[in-house]
Amino acid sequence: MRKFPLLAATIFTSSVSAVQILPIKDHGSSEIMVSSTEHTRISVENDRIAQLFGIDGRLSFELDEMNGQVFITPTPGTEDHSLLITLTTEKGLTHDLRVQPTKRPAEAILLRPKTQGLQERTSPLDTYQGLILEFIKSYATGVLKEPYKVVALQKSPSEKIEPELTLQPIRETHSPQFVGRVCQLKNVGDTTLLLSPHQFAKFKPLAIAFSTRVLKPLAQTEVLLILARSGS
């Protein structure tokens, strides 16, 4: 299996909301997509956001000092702009975020320091989220554990899930709880696309893992859709 140095995951809770999980490293930079019409909550796992820098008039924010998280909201009309901010945490981590406003509904963003990334078990495996993270870890590293099983899929025509975005299933990984469907995505248009979990809503995934969230014209990438097994 292909290995990804960086993987962004979205895990859906029992409610309609979703959480983007983004691995980060000290003095690194990442791109995040935020809603241009709603507040987006950003937090750092096992840490607290202490300060934000680089905020201009196009981006408003409210720091929740009690919980160590921040809510940011771009001003209307900034969908075609990229806004750069820098955050620092109480544990001394500094990270740049390139904020891309979109008209999508807001999703909470959980920043996970790299030392606590997918290589580490940050939650008990007998919990729902822990099982999903372990499943994503297996996909990211290409290391299958018992009783995971890979199932090859017959080649089928690509399906358009948006006017300029096609999807083609490649293979599946089965576990007792989940079916992980690996799909090839292709941007068949002439403009750069920003991938979002909402583009895959018809499949009713429990979680999604992206190798990239930015897809240039005619470019391809993989996406992992984690689905519930029948009867689970």
Query: What pLDDT digit, counting tens, does each position of 174-183 carry?
Result: 998 899 999 9
pTM: predicted TM-score of the whole model, two decimal places: 0.58
**Architecture of the domain delimited by 8-116:** Sandwich (2.60)
For residue 121, pLDDT beyond 70: no
pLDDT at 5: 44
Higher pLDDT among residues 171 and 133, named by residue: 171
Q: Cα–Cα distance between 102 and 78 in angstroms, integer?
A: 8
In CATH, what class is 128-228? mainly beta
Q: Which two tokens stand for residue 230?
A: 């029948």
Peptide bond into 147 cis (omega under 30): yes
Say what the pLDDT of residue 231 is.
Answer: 58
- Which of 86, 117, 112, 80 lies closest to 191 in space, CA to CA? 80
pLDDT digits (tens, 9 = 90+) for 186-212: 999 999 998 887 888 899 888 888 878
Q: Do domains 8-116 and 128-228 have the same CATH topology?
A: yes
64 token code pair:
């929740």
Per-domain boundaries in the chain: 8-116, 128-228
**What are the residue ranges of helices labelled H in 101-227?**
128-141
Return d(Cα 209, Cα 69) in angstroms, integer: 23
Q: At residue 227, does pLDDT exceed 80? A: yes
Q: Which residue has the tokens 């901010």?
A: 85
Model confidence at 2: pLDDT above 60 = no
d(CA 187, CA 166): 7
Which of 214-218's residues contact partners 24+ apart within 8 Å by CB, and which partners? 214/31, 215/165, 215/185, 215/187, 216/187, 216/192, 217/187, 217/189, 217/190, 217/191, 217/192, 218/186, 218/187, 218/188
